[in-house]
Amino acid sequence: MSDSIQLLRQWTLLRLLAARRQGLPLKDLANELGVSQKTILRDLNLLRRLAFPVEETVGERGRKTWRLVSDEGLPNLRFTLEEAAALYLGRQYLEGLAGTMFWSGAQSAFQKIRAAFGEPALRHLQKLATGFYLTTHALVDYEERGSLIDDLMIAIEDRKLTVITYQSLRSTEPVTHYDIHPYALVHHRGALYVIAWSNDHHEIRTFKVDRITSATLHDLQFERPKDFTAADHLAHSFGIFAGDGPSRRVLVRFSGQVTRILEEKRFHPSQRITRDRDGSLLAEYQLSSFEEFTSWLLSFGPLAEVLEPVELRQALVEALSQSLDMYNKQVDSGDLPQQQPVRTRRAK
């Protein structure tokens, strides 16, 4: 079992103990998490060794329960002023996780930091925050999907067969039901995705959480591939959608006008760039899916030319031809959008 699954289970275990202050017996904890009592006991002992305030208590008639000992949280956890300020100012980076259990926990922590600073210090921090801004235009608000996300995380952790109601972007049906084996949740460009084995498609698929309207967990457990990791699965994708075959070599010539763009940022781990004598750049990639890569290339217009593979070059030619045909039809018919006058304000 991967470390991420164990960590997720242990996080859920702490949440259960925090919610049930009176404590829970080992058997109930094991049933809640769908694993053996031996596994839960191993998790609890590990948490104790890591200084989490959990302990076993003996109540009436010898009933043993596990509980969180203190309401004070983690012992000996102290932040310097600089550390607390950095955490508080960095809260904007969690905006994309709104609605998840990590977001709710972070908000509680930020409230405690606010209370510790006091208003004068907070006003000073807010001034500092105005000098660094993280754009949030493309972030998805998951505040109303917290329960759904919790169910998906439980399904991943407990390896439970899950039936989702899904509205695909290209589907002709209003909704579709899929039987899936959820493997991982991925946060990509402000949105959450589930990577799962689809029994209906007989392959690993990626489902956008925004398009899942319901998730029903079943008691039937599935076997998760021991060697699966989200990082490996997406290693040769250009975003969130991986191909079902091996990676292929892609070669693109970029105009010298975009040299700075290509050299300032590594757009993919496999990116290899060489400069030609005429100032252009040859960029090589190893990709298993071209869908997201094609959209990215189109954003460069005539400043990027695919040299190989041939089918990717043909796909770009077709996409550009369709766009050109659409604009030419508008010109021929005279059905062009009316240009609105630009209004400007004079400086006083």
Handedness of CA 203, 208, 213, 214 (dihedral sign): positive
343 in any annotated domain: no
Mean predicted confidence (pLDDT) in 69-74 = 59
Looking at residue 72, what is its pLDDT? 54
178 in any annotated domain: yes
Mean predicted confidence (pLDDT) in 160-167 = 93
42 in any annotated domain: yes
Whether residues 284 and 305 share a domain: the answer is yes
Boundary of a domain, candidates 207, 233, 259: 233
Distance CA 235, CA 229 (A): 10
Instruction: Tell me the percentage of the chain whose pLDDT exceeds 90.
Output: 34
Looking at residue 172, what is its pLDDT? 62
Residue 133: pLDDT above 80? no
Whether residues 212 and 292 share a domain: the answer is no
Residue 348: pLDDT above 60? no
Whether residues 169 and 228 share a domain: the answer is yes
341 in any annotated domain: no
Residue 292: pLDDT above 50? yes
Query: How confident is the model over 168-218, as pLDDT tens digits?
Result: 876 666 678 999 999 999 988 888 999 999 999 999 999 999 999 999 999
Query: How confident is the model over 233-290, as pLDDT tens digits?
Result: 999 999 999 887 889 999 999 999 998 899 888 999 999 999 988 889 999 999 999 9
Residue 73: pLDDT above 60? no
Mean predicted confidence (pLDDT) in 94-107 = 68
Whether residues 220 and 175 share a domain: the answer is yes
Residue 76: pLDDT above 60? no
Whether residues 191 and 260 share a domain: the answer is no
Looking at residue 2, what is its pLDDT? 54
Whether residues 229 and 299 share a domain: the answer is no
Distance CA 142, CA 104 (A): 11
What is the CB-side half-sphere exposure of residue 48 using CA atoms within 13 A?
Answer: 13
CATH number, position 169: 2.30.30
Distance CA 4, CA 340 (A): 54
332: pLDDT confidence band, cut at 50, 70 and 90? low
Looking at residue 144, what is its pLDDT? 80
Query: How confident is the model over 17-27, as pLDDT tens digits?
Result: 877 777 888 89
Tokens at residue 303, please? 């400043």
Distance CA 39, CA 224 (A): 17
Whether residues 197 and 157 share a domain: the answer is yes
Distance CA 164, CA 180 (A): 7
Whether residues 116 and 188 share a domain: the answer is no
Mean predicted confidence (pLDDT) in 297-303 = 94
Looking at residue 57, what is its pLDDT? 85
Q: What's the domain range around 226?
A: 143-233
Boundary of a domain, candidates 233, 259, 279: 233
- Tell how far CA 168 is from the center of its chain: 18
Least confident of 110-119, 161-170, 270-279: 110-119
Structural domains of the chain, count: 4
More confident residue, 180 or 336: 180
340 in any annotated domain: no
Whether residues 252 and 313 share a domain: the answer is yes
DSSP 303: G
35 in any annotated domain: yes
DSSP 90: G
202 in any annotated domain: yes
Cis preceding linkage at 25, omega within 30: no
CATH number, position 28: 1.10.10.10
Looking at residue 286, what is its pLDDT? 96
Cis preceding linkage at 302, omega within 30: no
Residue 296: pLDDT above 90? yes
Check: CB of residue 230 under 8 Å from CB of residue 183: yes
- Of the segments 88-102, 262-276, 320-334, which one has the largest average pLDDT value? 262-276
- Of the segments 21-30, 89-98, 117-126, 221-230, which one has the largest average pLDDT value? 221-230
What mean pLDDT, rounded, does the chain reach?
Answer: 82
206 in any annotated domain: yes
Whether residues 122 and 147 share a domain: the answer is no
CATH number, position 282: 3.30.70
Closest CA to 102 of 208, 226, 187: 187
Looking at residue 347, what is its pLDDT? 46
DSSP 94: G
Query: 0.85 exceeded by the pTM?
Result: no
Mean predicted confidence (pLDDT) in 7-33 = 81
Whether residues 49 and 120 share a domain: the answer is no
Whether residues 118 and 182 share a domain: the answer is no
Looking at residue 1, what is its pLDDT? 45
More confident residue, 169 or 164: 164
Check: CB of residue 215 under 8 Å from CB of residue 162: yes
Looking at residue 173, what is its pLDDT? 65
